[in-house]
């Protein structure tokens, strides 16, 4: 990961910093409390590594990252591949152009001391990921299969590995114990490797041929019974239908007997309606003009007035409009009397009563017509039912069908009783067989889980993976120790960080720990392909240690194994005689300043 430019504004102790990185190694020097570490943390924030700057865990605490007296700060890091990660505080936003995604190893490259601070399990996970041999279920399953583990059991191990080999091994042992308990529950005996192989349950004998024969007999009886039941259902349904329609005849005949009386009533109702309509016509004519108010009367008077004025001469055909107007006027006068004629007030007073009488007569005629239609339909329905009942019902066929069905039911019941006895014997035999198979299955589970627990033990697959993972990583640490002329650091099989002679990391001096962290970070950077280092507080080293550090980084840069190294430390001045791969920058009062190298 090559960094080409860093731009930081108002981040912690940095007020303003803009620097183009023209060499692989960039040395940032200055006195204490000038902003060097602030610049380092700004770079970490922009690159989005899994780090916590200044212990800020909550969003409201991000304001503490802004330079004193300012409202916001930002940092931008330009990479050689054209991407530009960007961080903004106090919003907490971390942005990046296009497709920049922080590498999972950045945490340990940007803050080297984090790797040694991990516990053994987490350190193992990091190394497996870096070396491309993570705890992949597929690989472990394949290795288990080579050890003779059943494929189905091997696949079940996959989810267990999420908690690590130790937990997976313990879980496999627990499952083996559960399988032994299950075997004991089935057999009622204490499990042993020998009796587990040969145990079988006592199986009572039963006549399988007789069972098959009786079962077939019951099936045939079911088929025959279903056929007779269909016949019975059809005949019984016909009998019920005939009884139902016969029961309707009385009501239908009663309704049909009213046809003559209803017809006479309908004739009388129609006569009454005709008389009322005649009276209504006479009264309407007699009522004449009367008090006529409203739009319809006004329009009628207008038509009566205008029609003579627009009348076509007698020797010519009148227009359609004249004909329509005259027809409308005639209809009006038929209902209200002639326009201008004097009307009879008494006749006009009777009109509402006679109109109501006509409406009642209309309803009476309609109701009588409805009653007549119902009576006629009842007469037709009764005639149709009598026609249907002319054919006699075959009651003997229904009785015979029921007798045959009862005979089959009796025969079937005897067969079912015998079959139940055989079925009980069959179930006992099958249960014994199932017990034997179940015990054999639990035995296989016990053997498989025992094999799996042995494979997942430290001297099994974990040992194989550790050997392949630690070899290249420790070789890289050895190469760094040689190049820097520092104390060699190794990762032992228990995943502890120790010196080559076995001294634990925790017992090292401060400067030795710093060297160990730097070499661990470089090894991580190398195997991950990042080619990036960020080393803060290099002033913990003595003068020779600093020379060794820069020489080591120079070798890495010359060999093309390091794209960018950012080194921060407290110095009185910029050192002189730096190699072309190293550029130095002076940090003072929160800004990058120009300063000549000291002798």
pLDDT at residue 360, rounded to an integer = 94
CB within 8 Å of 59: residues ≥ 6 apart: 90, 92
Least confident of 231-245, 340-354, 536-550: 340-354
Please state, in angstroms and rounded to a whole number, the distance separating the CA atoms of residues 328 and 341: 18
Q: Mean pLDDT throughout 214-240?
A: 90
Indicate whether 63 pLDDT > 50: yes
Question: Coil, strand, or helix at residue 583?
Answer: strand
Please state, in angstroms and rounded to a whole number, the distance separating the CA atoms of residues 175 and 165: 15
H helix or E strand, kind and range, residue 197: helix 193-198
Cα atoms found within 13 Å of the Cα of residue 557, Cβ hemisphere only: 22
Residue linked to tokens 């739009």: 295
pLDDT at residue 54, rounded to an integer = 44
pLDDT in tens, 411-436: 999 989 988 888 888 888 888 888 88
Question: Coil, strand, or helix at residue 596?
Answer: coil
End-to-end, the C-alpha distance of the chain in Å comes to 33
Residue linked to tokens 């359609």: 320
Please state, in angstroms and rounded to a whole number, the distance separating the CA atoms of residues 485 and 478: 10
Of 281 and 445, which is predicted with more confidence?
445
Residues pairing with 78 in the sheet: 5
Per the structure block, which two tokens stand in for 290? 């009367």
Indicate whether 97 pLDDT > 70: no
Its pTM surpasses 0.85: no
DSSP state letter for 504: B
Interstrand relation of 93-96 and 85-89 (parallel, antiparallel or unpaired): antiparallel
Please state, in angstroms and rounded to a whole number, the distance separating the CA atoms of residues 281 and 287: 10
Cβ–Cβ under 8 Å, residues 554 and 581: yes
Least confident of 57-61, 163-167, 234-238, 393-397: 57-61
Length of the chain: 599
Interstrand relation of 85-89 and 591-593 (parallel, antiparallel or unpaired): unpaired
Please state, in angstroms and rounded to a whole number, the distance separating the CA atoms of residues 399 and 227: 15
pLDDT in tens, 166-216: 788 888 889 889 989 999 998 988 888 888 888 998 877 778 888 889 889
DSSP 198-249: H---------HHHHHHHHHHHHHHHHHHHHHHHHHHHHHHHHHHHHHHHHHH
Q: Tell me how crowded residue 16 is: count the other CB atoms within 10 A of its CB.
A: 15
Residues pairing with 18 in the sheet: 7
Q: Tell me how crowded residue 110 is: count the other CB atoms within 10 A of its CB.
A: 28
Percentage, residues of the chain above pLDDT 70: 91
For the chain, counts of helices (H) and of strands (E): 17, 12
pLDDT at residue 287, rounded to an integer = 74
**CA 328 from chain center: how many Å?**
75
Cβ–Cβ under 8 Å, residues 436 and 98: no
Residue linked to tokens 């009213």: 258
Residues pairing with 568 in the sheet: 28
Please state, in angstroms and rounded to a whole number, the distance separating the CA atoms of residues 165 and 237: 75
pLDDT at residue 288, rounded to an integer = 64
Burial 326-339 (b: 16+ CB within 10 A, else e): eeebeebbeebbbb
Round the average pLDDT of the chain to a whole number and report it: 85
Of 475 and 346, which is predicted with more confidence?
475
Q: Which of 229, 207, 232, 208 minimizes the C-alpha distance to 412?
A: 229
Percentage, residues of the chain above pLDDT 90: 35
Per the structure block, which two tokens stand in for 77? 């890091």
Confidence of residue 60 (pLDDT cuts 50, 70, 90): low
φ, ψ for residue 202, nearest 5 deg: -70, 125
pLDDT at residue 486, rounded to an integer = 95
DSSP 47-62: HT-S--GGG--SGGGG
pLDDT in tens, 334-353: 777 677 666 678 877 888 89
pLDDT at residue 118, rounded to an integer = 94
Q: Tell me how crowded residue 459 is: count the other CB atoms within 10 A of its CB.
A: 9
Cβ–Cβ under 8 Å, residues 518 and 549: yes
pLDDT in tens, 303-325: 888 887 877 777 778 888 888 88
Least confident of 158-167, 365-374, 437-446: 158-167
Q: Which of 387, 532, 381 minimizes the C-alpha distance to 44?
A: 532
Q: Tell me how crowded residue 259 is: count the other CB atoms within 10 A of its CB.
A: 16
Question: Coil, strand, or helix at residue 397?
Answer: helix
Q: Which of 442, 445, 457 minimizes the C-alpha distance to 152?
A: 445
Cβ–Cβ under 8 Å, residues 590 and 14: yes
Question: Coil, strand, or helix at residue 564?
Answer: strand
Confidence of residue 152 (pLDDT cuts 50, 70, 90): confident
Please state, in angstroms and rounded to a whole number, the distance separating the CA atoms of residues 20 and 76: 12
Please state, in angstroms and rounded to a whole number, the distance separating the CA atoms of residues 68 and 575: 31
pLDDT at residue 458, rounded to an integer = 67
Residue linked to tokens 């503490």: 64
Strands (E) across 101-185 are located at none
Q: Which of 491, 464, 458 minimizes the C-alpha distance to 165?
A: 458
Please state, in angstroms and rounded to a whole number, the distance separating the CA atoms of residues 585 and 39: 12
Confidence of residue 93 (pLDDT cuts 50, 70, 90): low
pLDDT at residue 490, rounded to an integer = 94
Burial 356-389 (b: 16+ CB within 10 A, else e): ebbeebeebbeebeebbeebeebbebbeebeeee
Cβ–Cβ under 8 Å, residues 186 and 439: yes
Q: Which of 412, 277, 301, 418 minimizes the C-alpha distance to 355?
A: 277
Per the structure block, which two tokens stand in for 87? 């961080």
């Amino acid at each position: 990961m090559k960094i080409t430019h860093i731009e930081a504004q108002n981040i912690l102790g940095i007020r303003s910093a803009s620097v183009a990185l023209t060499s692989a190694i960039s040395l940032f020097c200055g006195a204490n409390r000038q902003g060097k570490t602030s610049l380092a943390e700004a770079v970490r924030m922009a690159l989005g590594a899994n780090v916590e700057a200044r212990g800020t865990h909550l969003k409201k605490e991000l304001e503490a990252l802004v330079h004193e007296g300012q409202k916001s700060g930002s940092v931008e890091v330009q990479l050689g591949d054209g991407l530009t990660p960007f961080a903004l505080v106090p919003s907490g936003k971390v942005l990046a152009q296009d497709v920049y995604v922080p590498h999972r190893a950045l945490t340990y490259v940007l803050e080297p001391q984090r790797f040694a601070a991990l516990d053994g399990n987490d350190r193992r996970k990091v190394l497996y990921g870096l070396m491309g041999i993570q705890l992949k279920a597929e690989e472990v399953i394949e290795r288990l299969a080579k050890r003779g583990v059943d494929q189905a059991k091997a696949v079940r191990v996959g989810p267990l590995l999420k908690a690590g080999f130790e937990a997976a091994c313990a879980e496999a042992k627990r499952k083996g114990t559960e399988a032994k308990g299950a075997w004991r529950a089935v057999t009622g005996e204490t499990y042993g490797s020998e009796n587990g192989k040969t145990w079988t349950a006592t199986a009572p004998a039963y006549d399988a041929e007789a069972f098959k024969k009786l079962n077939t007999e019951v099936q045939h009886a079911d088929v025959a019974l279903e056929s007779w039941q269909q016949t019975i259902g059809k005949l019984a349904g016909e009998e019920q239908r005939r009884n139902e329609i016969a029961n309707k005849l009385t009501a239908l005949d009663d309704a049909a007997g009213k046809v003559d009386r209803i017809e006479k009533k309908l004739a009388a109702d129609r006569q009454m309606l005709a008389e009322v309509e005649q009276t209504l016509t006479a009264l309407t004519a007699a009522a004449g003009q009367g008090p006529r108010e409203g739009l319809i009367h006004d329009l009628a008077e207008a038509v009566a007035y205008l029609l003579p004025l627009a009348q076509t001469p007698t020797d010519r055909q009148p227009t359609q409009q004249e004909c329509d107007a005259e027809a409308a006027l005639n209809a009006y006068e038929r209902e209200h009397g002639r326009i201008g004629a004097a009307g009879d007030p008494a006749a006009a007073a009777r009109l509402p009563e006679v109109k109501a009488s006509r409406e009642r007569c209309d309803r009476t005629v309609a109701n009588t017509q409805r009653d007549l239609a119902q009576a006629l339909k009842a007469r037709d329905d009764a005639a149709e039912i009598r026609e249907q009942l002319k054919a006699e019902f075959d009651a003997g066929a229904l009785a015979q069908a029921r007798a045959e069905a009862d005979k089959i039911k009796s025969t079937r019941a005897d067969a079912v009783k015998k079959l139940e006895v055989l079925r009980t014997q069959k179930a006992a035999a099958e249960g014994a067989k199932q017990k034997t198979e179940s015990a054999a299955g639990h035995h296989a589970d016990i053997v498989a889980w025992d094999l799996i627990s042995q494979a997942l033990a430290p001297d099994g697959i974990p040992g194989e993976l550790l050997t392949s993972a630690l070899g290249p990583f420790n070789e890289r640490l050895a190469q760094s120790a040689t190049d820097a002329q520092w104390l060699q650091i190794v990762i032992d099989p228990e995943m502890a960080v120790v010196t080559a002679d076995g001294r634990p990391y925790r017992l090292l001096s401060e400067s030795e720990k710093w060297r160990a962290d730097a070499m661990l970070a470089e090894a991580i950077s190398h195997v991950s392909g990042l080619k990036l280092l960020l080393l803060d507080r290099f002033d913990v080293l003595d003068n020779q240690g600093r020379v060794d550090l820069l020489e080591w980084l120079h070798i890495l840069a010359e060999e093309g194994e390091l794209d960018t190294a950012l080194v921060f430390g407290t110095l009185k001045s910029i050192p002189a005689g730096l190699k072309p791969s190293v550029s130095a920058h002076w940090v003072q009062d929160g800004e990058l300043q120009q300063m000549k190298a000291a002798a």
